Structure 1
Amino acid sequence: MAHAVSSAARLEEAVAAVRARTDACPRVALVLGSGLGSFADTLEGATRIPYEDIPGMPVSGVAGHAGRLVIGRAEGVPCVAMQGRVHLYEGHDPGDVVFGLRLMMRLGAKVLVVTNAAGGANPALEPGDLMLIEDHLNMTGRTPLLGPNDEALGPRFPDMSEAYDPGLRRLARKVAGELGIPLRGGVYAGLLGPSYETPAEIRMLQRLGADAVGMSTVLETIAARHAGARVLGISCITNKGAGLSAQLLDHAEVQEVADRVRDRFVALLRGVLAALAKESG
């Protein structure tokens, strides 16, 4: 059985390939979900590297995920962005799902901003809402930490009591308030996918305390905390969960809503980065 934890040696080969193209040292890592990938195109002084050019980097086949690592600056902050991500439901090992995340940490990032498109399990959430992730439920049954621990990546038993950094959440709320962008808080449930949830599963998730549900983010957050990074997570609610509306779910709807909310999402993201620049300045 292949172990899920990526070897440090494999990561170093990927780091060397990126370093051959740029010596920039990013401070913030961005994982850009459905509808937000174009934000990476706005990074200043950017170096763009297709995933295919990075040894060991898995490539996504999902529509709307470009598949490039982009290194540049936004609001004066050195950033590295994953323009598209891979998912467990594509058949990837958990270690491959978080390989890009671990690569960004190895390049120097200490803060992760992870975004996603999610369904609303909380009936109060409407398509187009932005939700600050306060905690998560890992319902995938998988973890990127399975197998022997590589101490070069992090400790055997990382603490997850504050998986989503309280200071970053306060900062995001402050920025959202200044911009007049409504930002609800909630719990994100990460499921395996690729099928959308049944109405019974949505009712189960509600009882477990979930507000939003999706097919990403939880493994990346675990790997980031394993590496000692601070994590800020934001979901774009693209649809109501199964059974909460008469509408059937499809990926085209998810992308359409994510595209519609993009400008507001990007404004919040830029505001957070500008606040981080002041924080470090």
Structure 2
Amino acid sequence: MSRNAELAALIRSRAGAAAPEYGFILGSGLGHLSAQVDGTAIPYDELPGFPHAGVSGHVPHLVIGDLEGRRVAVFGGRAHYYESGRADAMRLPLEVLTELGCDRLILTNAAGSLRPDIPPGGLMLLNDHIAFAGTNPLIGEGTDARFVPMTRAHDPEIRAGLGAAARDEGVDLPEGVYCWFSGP
């Protein structure tokens, strides 16, 4: 059994066999969302090989359960490239999420904006991204898995749903392009 399959089996033994419909990786300021999930919290240090989430505001737990009627897997924090120098720092958790049967992922983070219409604390819905970090998390991958199609990296259906939810709640949610630099 592969390491990913072993970790998925461990998670299923603690949180149940139902596959999450959505995965979330929460960035700074949104760690409290994991407390809204009715389910099981598993600290990263109980999942062999999971990265340490060392930024304040991150909660290093995987929470699997129900949120607003949907089965979700919520990563309360993540490791960052600038903490370890490894662009693939979150590869194992993402592969385990896939092993659990989840194929939809929503990532959040705190980032600066160059746009005057997106002030500090503002929200932005990504419609594309540019990697300026000078590295790639797939470097060293020895299989064709290194060739990842990017045509739907920012899923139109998920983006439309998030846009509709923002409109329904009266939340301003401009769209834009994210540029990844090494940070912090």
TM-score after normalising by structure 1: 0.61
Of the three residues 50, 53, 63, the one matched with 1:60 is 53
Note if contact 2:20-2:73 (Cα within 8 Å) is conserved in structure 1. yes
Deviates more, 1:184-193 or 1:142-151: 142-151
Which residue is 2:79 aligned to?
86
Q: Which residue of 1 aligns with 2:99?
A: 106
Alpha-carbon distance between aligned partners in 2 of 1:136 and 1:130, rounded to the nearest angstrom: 16
Establish whether residue 148 from structure 1 lines up as the match of residue 138 from structure 2. Answer: no
TM-fit CA distance, 1:150: 4.2
1:74 to 59, 62, 67: 67
Residue identity matched to 1:169: R
When residues 125 and 22 of structure 1 are mapped into structure 2, their CA distance, relative to the original with a 3 A threshold, is closer
Q: 1:242-276 deviations in whole A, cap 9, x for unaligned? A: xxxxxxxxxxxxxxxxxxxxxxxxxxxxxxxxxxx
The percentage of aligned residue pairs carrying the same residue is: 39
2:162 is aligned to 172
Q: Which sections of structure 1, spanning at least 5 residues, go unmatched?
A: 1-7, 195-281
Alignment of 1:156-167 (within 5 A): 156-167=146-157
User: Do 1:17 and 1:55's aligned partners in 2 also have CA atoms closer than 8 Å?
Assistant: no
Partner of 2:20: 26
RMSD: 1.7
In structure 2, C-alpha distance between the alignment counterparts of 1:128 and 1:93, rounded to whole Å: 28
Give the whole-Å Cα distance in 1 for the aligned partners of 2:158 and 2:141.
Answer: 31
In 2, Cα distance between the equivalents of 1:38 and 1:150?
38
Report the Cα distance in structure 2 between the residues aligned to 1:98 and 1:181, rounded to whole angstroms.
32
Look up the equivalent residue of 1:21 and give its one-letter code. R
For 1:148 and 1:125, locate their aligned partners in 2 and report how far apart those are by CA, in whole Å: 37
Which residue, out of 33, 36, 56, partners 1:39?
Answer: 33
2:44 aligned partner: 51
Which residue number corresponds to residue 188 of structure 1? 178
Contact 1:29 1:105 in 2 (8 A): no
Answer yes or no: is 1:132 the counterpart of 2:125.
yes
Is the deviation greater in 25-34 or in 12-21?
Answer: 12-21
CA distance in 1, matches of 2:90, 2:103: 19
SS in 2 for 1:104: helix
After superposition, what is the alpha-carbon deviation per residue over 1:60-99, rounded to whole angstroms, capped at 9, x for unaligned? Answer: 2211111000001011110000001100111152333222
User: For residues 117-162 of structure 1, what are the alpha-carbon distances to aligned partners after superposition, in whole Å with 9 as ceiling and x for unaligned?
Assistant: 11011233212321000100111112221123446xxx44222133
Question: Helix, strand or coil: the match of 1:105?
Answer: helix
- Detail structure 1 runs of 4+ shifted over 3 Å in the superposition: 148-151
Q: Distance in 1 between matches of 2:148 and 2:126?
A: 19
Question: 1:241-280 counterparts in 2 under 5 A?
Answer: none
Q: Is the 8 A contact 1:94 1:143 kept in 2?
A: yes
What's the TM-score, normalizing by structure 2?
0.92
Given that 1:133 and 1:186 are in contact with CA atoms closer than 8 Å, whether structure 2 keeps it comes out as yes
Structure 2: tracts of 5 or more residues without a match: none
CA distance in 1, matches of 2:63, 2:96: 12
- Structure 1 residues 96-105 or 85-94, which shifts more? 96-105
Judging by fraction of residues, say which structure has more helix. 1
1:1-60 Cα offsets, whole Å, 9 max, x none, are xxxxxxx9232232232123122321100111111111111111x111000000111112
Find the structure with the greater CA-based Rg.
Answer: 1
SS where residue 97 of structure 2 aligns? helix
CA contact (8 A) 2:87 2:136 kept: yes
